[in-house]
Chains A and B, each alone.
Chain A
Amino acid sequence: MGVPTPLATSRRPGAVELLALGIVATVLLQGWVGGRLSSSDAVAAWATVFVSICVQALPFLVLGVALSAALTAFVPPSWFSRALPSRPSLAVPVAGLAGAVLPGCECASVPVAGSLVRRGVAIPAALTFLLAAPAINPVVVVATVVAFPGQPEVAGARFVASLLAAVVVGLLWTRFGRTSWLRPPRFVPVEGGSRFEAFRAAAQHDLLHAGGFLVVGGLTAATLGVLVPPSALEAVADNEVLAVLALATLAVVLAICSEADAFVAASLSQFSLTARLAFLVVGPMVDVKLVALQAGTFGRGFAVRFAPLTFVVALASALLVAEVLL
C-alpha cells in the first residue's frame, strides 16, 4: 500500500504482516488442501454448505449495514422522539411500525434504542422499536422473500408475527414494567469527526460484528446438515412440538443477524414452515448476542427479565400467525 504508518516501529504484528502471512500461506497450501477434497466427501459437502450460506447472506448484510450506518450517522435521535406520540399505549404500536425504517440487525437497534431512551422516548416504545426493527425492516423482508422463493407468505407471516410480538411486549411493559429495572445507559456520544467518519466507522464495526456471527450461524447449520442424517432430522421435524421448540432454541443459540437468518432457515428444509417461522421470529428478538448487548446497555436486571418474556411472546406469536397465515 506504500503509505508509511507512523506506528510501525512501536506495535505488535498487525495488518501488513497478517496480510503477507496470509498470502504466503494461501499460495503454499492451496494445492495441497484443494486436492484433499472431492465431491464424494462429507468434509467437502460441509465446506460447500458453509461457504454458500455465507456467500448468499453477505450482500444482504452489506446492504443492511450500509443503511443502518447511514441512519446512525445522518439521522439525529431527536427526530425519532419528535415523531412518536407521547402516550405510551399509542407510542408502542407506532414505534413498532417505525421499526420498519431501521434496516439492520440488533447490532444497530440496541444502541439506537438506548439513545432513544436517553432522549426521553418512553421506555416501552423504545423497547418495541428495539424488538421490531431487526425483524420487519425492508432488507430482512426482501431477504426472507429471496430465501423462500415461491413462498412470499413466509415473509408476510414473519412481518406480522414479529410486529405483533414487539407490540405485545411493549404493551406488557407499559402495564407491568418498572423503570427501576433499567440501569440508565450512559453513553459516550460521538465527538468530533464528520458524519461521514461516523458512517464509515459504524459500517465497518457492524459489518465485522454481524459477519462474525453470520459465520457462527453458517458453521452450525453446515455441521447440523452434514452430521445429522436426513432421516434423523426428519424424525425431529415430524414431531410438531419438538420441531418448533428445537428451532426456537436454535435461534437463541445461533445469534445470526436477521438479514441472514432467512437463508439459514431455508436450509433447514426438513422442518415445517411453522417451526422455521418460530426460528425467524424468535431469533431477532432474543439470542445470546442480544442478551449480552442488552445487559451491556440496560443492565443485567433488565436482560434477565426481558429475554424470557420476549422468548415466550415471540414463540406464541409465531405459532398463532402460522396457524392463521401458513
Chain B
Amino acid sequence: MNREVQSVLVVLVGSALLRISLTDVHLRYVKPEMAPFLVAAGALMVLLGLWTVLVEGFLRPRSGSGQAQDGRTHDEQGSDGQDEEHGAVHEHGHGPRVAWLLLLPVLGIFLVAPPALGSWSAAREPGRTPPPPAGSTLDPLPAGDPVATSLTDFVTRAAFDDAATLLGRRVRLTGFVTPDGEGGWWLSRMAMSCCAADGYPVSVRILDVPAPPADTWVQVDGRHVADPAAAEAGDPPSLQVEDLVPVDEPREPYES
C-alpha cells in the first residue's frame, strides 16, 4: 500500500476511536474511565495521518529507491523470512500488508457498532458470585422502600452472612431479561474487570413472573427469597417480584 493509503487507514482508525469516545458508544466496550484516553489516541492518530497527507501533498516525492521509504532502517538483502509471514515484514517501499486488517474494527465501529453484551453472553455461564466482602459483615442497606441497589450488591448480600441484610427489605434492581431455556428467566447485567472481552454475568433468578422478551431492560421491585441449598451450590439468588416495569437501557450498560 502506498503512503496515501496508509494515512487514510490511520485517519480512519483514529476517527473510529473519536466517534465512539465522544459519544456514549464506547460504554458498550470499555469502562467509562477510558474515554479521555480514547479521545487522545483517536486525535493523535488523525493528526498523524493528516500530517503524512500534508507531507505527501507539498513535498515532491524524490525518485524512489535511494531514500529508505517510511524512514525505517531495514535490511537490503533480507528476503528470507519475509514471505512466509504473509506481509508482516514489509517490502521496500510498501507499508505493512497486515495493516489492512485494521479496516475490520473501523468497519465494525462505523458500520455496526455492536451492542453491549446481553442475554446470549449472560446465558452461557451461571451468574458469578462475587468474592466475600472484606471484613466479616456487610453494611446494612440504606433506608428506603424499595431501596435501589446494584445486582452485584444484591448477589453479594444474598450469598454471605445468611442474607441478613436483605431480611424484610424490598429492593429495586435494574437489568435485562435472560431466558434460561426452561421457561424461567434471570435478571442479569454483565460486569467487566478490564473490557467487554472479559465480561461475566451477574444474575438473579426471578420467580413467578413470565419472561418478557429476551434482552428487555426492566426494573423490578421485590424481596429476596432465601434458598440455603442454592446459596451453598453457588447458584444465583432468587427474587420474588412485586412490580416490574420496562426501562430504557442505561447509559452505562455494564455494572462496575
Contact = CB atoms under 8 A, between A and B. Distances in A.
Interface string B36-68: 011011001100110111111110111000111
Interface in B106-125: 107-121, 124-125
Given A30-B111, A208-B10, A297-B78, A202 B48 contact: no
A212 B99 contact: yes
B45 A207 contact: yes
Choose among A37, A61, A146, A208 the residue with the greatest number of B CB atoms under 10 Å from its CB.
Answer: A208
Nearest to A32: B111
A174 to B, nearest CB: 25
A210 to B, nearest CB: 9
Contacts of A115: 73
A51 B80 CA distance: 34
Given A56-B195, A200-B52, A267-B198, A293 B89 contact: yes
A303 B28 CA distance: 42
A218 to B, nearest CB: 7
B232 interface: no
- Main secondary structure on A side of the interface with B: helix
Contacts of B101: 211-212, 215-216, 219
B7 A52 contact: no
Q: Bin chain B's interface residue count.
A: 35 or more
B72 interface: yes
B80 to A, nearest CB: 5
Given A18-B5, A212-B99, A292-B85, A111 B74 contact: yes
Contacts of B89: 292-293, 296
Interface string A164-206: 0000000000000000000001111111110001101111110
Given A34-B113, A197-B55, A221 B197 contact: yes
A212 B66 CA distance: 28
Contact of A55 (B9, B26, B57, B99): B26
B195 A53 contact: yes
A207 B9 CA distance: 10
A82 interface: no
B82 interface: yes
A58 B26 CA distance: 13
Contact of B68 (A41, A49, A189, A216): A189
A124 interface: no
23 contacts: A22-B12, A51-B29, A52-B196, A55-B195, A56-B30, A58-B38, A59-B37, A59-B41, A62-B40, A73-B71, A115-B73, A146-B194, A189-B73, A190-B72, A197-B55, A200-B71, A204-B3, A211-B101, A212-B96, A219-B101, A288-B88, A292-B88, A296-B81
Interface of A: 1, 3-7, 11, 14-16, 18-19, 22, 26, 29-30, 33-34, 37-42, 44-45, 47-56, 58-59, 61-63, 66, 73, 111, 114-115, 146-150, 185-193, 197-198, 200-205, 207-209, 211-213, 215-216, 218-219, 221-222, 225, 229-230, 255, 263-264, 266-269, 288-289, 291-297, 299-300, 303
Interface of B: 2-10, 12-13, 17, 20, 26, 28-30, 34, 37-38, 40-41, 44-45, 48-49, 51-58, 60-62, 66-68, 70-78, 80-82, 84-85, 88-90, 95-102, 104-105, 107-121, 124-125, 176, 193-200, 214-215
